[in-house]
Structure 1
Amino acid sequence: MEWERARRGRARGVSSHRVVLERVQGFLETGRFEQAEADARALAASLRDRGGDPPMISWLARSLAAGAAVAHGRGAELLPELESLITELEQTAGADRQLLLVVRSNRAAVLVQQDRHTEAEAETRDILRGTTRIAHLAEIWRIELNALTSLAAALNGQGRYEEAEAIARGNLPQADPPIAAFLLRALVDSLNGQSRYEEALAEARRHTPVRGRAASGTLELVTARALHGLGRGDEAETTARQALTACEEFLHPAHPRIEEARRLLADIIAGDSDPE
């Protein structure tokens, strides 16, 4: 009888944990990163204090907390935590490996943000190899698209614009928000990198992906670069200011995109002919 009551209690506990995880996922999808991280960390802490619960629930909570922090722009400080979680998740098998790939995808995004493009490329290519090994066990298309988006950004960062363009063009039509916003950025970045500014501007204006908070300023940044490349300085400056305003309003002050927008605006004002 005592065992049965304990079993039912654990079942109710797992059910309540999943309710919290679903709520956290909802916060993430609506850009409420601070609330998502706080709730996920609170759940992980309660599991750690009590003990005895399935480790996967804790891993899910910690991965969601880390993902929220990365999306908000605190990726640099999260790298040690991501590394620790990845080490723990290496013990998973089968369909559970998809969580490992999700966390590694977050690490790849941070590497891109830190301009560690060669490392990011290696990470994303290994993630893609990992998805093929579990494709028959789990739905992995979103993981693949996230990895491909970071791969395109990493290739742009290495000046391999044609490769980045091919990846972005090939996957943009099937991407949903917010991945589409980042793939569009990769595409326009690749065209700007090839000095194909008219095409870059056309692509930036042809697509209107739904952008969440995580993508704040992305489209404005690449549009400003295209305008600057075309010598349309006033429009470029205005658009760069819009990018900076969006980044400062919606992203964490530590987000690298804020500094990127500031550098671009300074380059445009100074008349730099090739803003980075």
Structure 2
Amino acid sequence: MREGLFEASEARARAVVTAREGIRGRDRRPFTIWSGRYCATVAAIAHGRGPTVLAELDTLIGELGQLSGAERELLLSARVDRAWLLIDDGRPIEAEAEARSILRALTRIQHLCDVQRLELRALHLLGDALCVHDQHDEAEKIARWHLPRADGQMATALHRLLIRSLSGQGRHEEALAESRKAFPEPLPWASGELELATAAALHGLGHHEEAKEEALRALARMRALPSPRTPAHRRDPRALGPDRSRLTRPRRAKARPRSRASARASHS
């Protein structure tokens, strides 16, 4: 899915699920089936078809509730993705409440597995929900506070949040300056995010022609994907979806240093 082949990725994940469901006995591995179903829904969301899999995601989350310990990371990942769909459905206050609940839940498994990446995803979700209902100042604080400990595409996602939060406060010059800073190239499903954020800042400054050019560049990048997203789907699913290599049954750690999840979640 990192190449933007959303339909093919979903089909492969569903094939794994079908194969596992056809096995009887101990080799059936429910966790593998759940992981496959989760990957399929994430691929569908990345393709812009979130509303079509919301019911499936709700069912999966209900089944994942029986997981315990480090395995609950999969449950919390699915809850993050569902909350983004709530934002797209015009329910940002519910999404905000869910993000805060997920951050609290992460503190209960942080001694069993590395939760930093999932924590950053939840924080990005929280900031996005806050922006939608005009609490841009708190979203800015989230982005600025957590950017220094993020890397790769997660840093890129938080940087986009920072730009959006600045524009939301009418600080378009600052937003435009931030948009010029170099950050890692986003994964395919986030194509066009920077151009859209830049366009918003330019529009706020009254540079309408330049804003239009940036918006058209964003649209062109979306359409250039092997499996184009619908342009209306502007959410960043990168923050949506865990590292696929980690979707196996987690090993229990003998002893791990305490993560920073509780300290970072306390501000929420």
TM, length-normalised to structure 2: 0.81
CA offset digits 1:138-183 (Å, max 9, x no partner): 1111111111111100000010010000001112232233323322
Which of 47, 53, 65 does residue 90 from structure 1 map onto?
Answer: 65
Report the Cα offset of residue 71 of structure 1.
1.9
CA offset digits 1:180-200 (Å, max 9, x no partner): 332222111111111101000
Report the Cα offset of residue 210 of structure 1.
1.8
SS in 2 for 1:133: coil
Question: Per the alignment, do residues 180 and 33 of structure 1 end up closer, same or farther by CA in structure 2, a change over 3 Å counting?
Answer: farther
Question: Per the alignment, do residues 254 and 91 of structure 1 end up closer, same or farther by CA in structure 2, a change over 3 Å counting?
Answer: farther
Which of 23, 35, 39 does residue 50 from structure 1 map onto?
Answer: 23
Aligned 1:1-276 pairs, distance under 5 A: 28-52=1-25, 53-250=28-225, 251-253=228-230, 255-257=232-234
CA offset digits 1:46-102 (Å, max 9, x no partner): 111223312111111111111121122211111101100000000011111111011
SS in 2 for 1:92: coil
Larger helix percent: 1
Counterpart-to-counterpart distance in 2, 1:109 and 1:233: 30
Report the Cα offset of residue 255 of structure 1.
4.7
Q: Which residue of 1 aligns with 2:265?
A: none
Question: Per the alignment, do residues 109 and 178 of structure 1 end up closer, same or farther by CA in structure 2, a change over 3 Å counting?
Answer: farther
Gaps of 5+ in 2: 236-268
Report the Cα offset of residue 254 of structure 1.
7.0
Counterpart-to-counterpart distance in 2, 1:149 and 1:180: 10
Paired residues of 2:46 and 2:229 also in contact (CA < 8 A): no
Paired residues of 1:72 and 1:255 also in contact (CA < 8 A): no
Give, as a single letter, the amino acid of the residue that structure 2 aligns with 1:100: L
Gaps of 5+ in 1: 1-27, 259-276
Question: Per the alignment, do residues 231 and 151 of structure 1 end up closer, same or farther by CA in structure 2, a change over 3 Å counting?
Answer: same
Counterpart-to-counterpart distance in 1, 2:129 and 2:50: 16
Q: Which one has a bigger Cα radius of gyration?
A: 1
Paired residues of 1:36 and 1:68 also in contact (CA < 8 A): yes
Paired residues of 2:222 and 2:231 also in contact (CA < 8 A): no
Counterpart-to-counterpart distance in 2, 1:70 and 1:78: 8
Paired residues of 1:247 and 1:257 also in contact (CA < 8 A): no
Paired residues of 2:163 and 2:176 also in contact (CA < 8 A): yes
Give, as a single letter, the amino acid of the residue that structure 1 aligns with 2:210: E
Counterpart-to-counterpart distance in 2, 1:193 and 1:152: 12
Question: Which structure has the higher relative contact order (CA within 8 Å, separation 6+)?
Answer: 2
Percent of aligned pairs sharing the same letter: 47
Counterpart-to-counterpart distance in 1, 2:49 and 2:14: 15
Paired residues of 1:181 and 1:219 also in contact (CA < 8 A): no
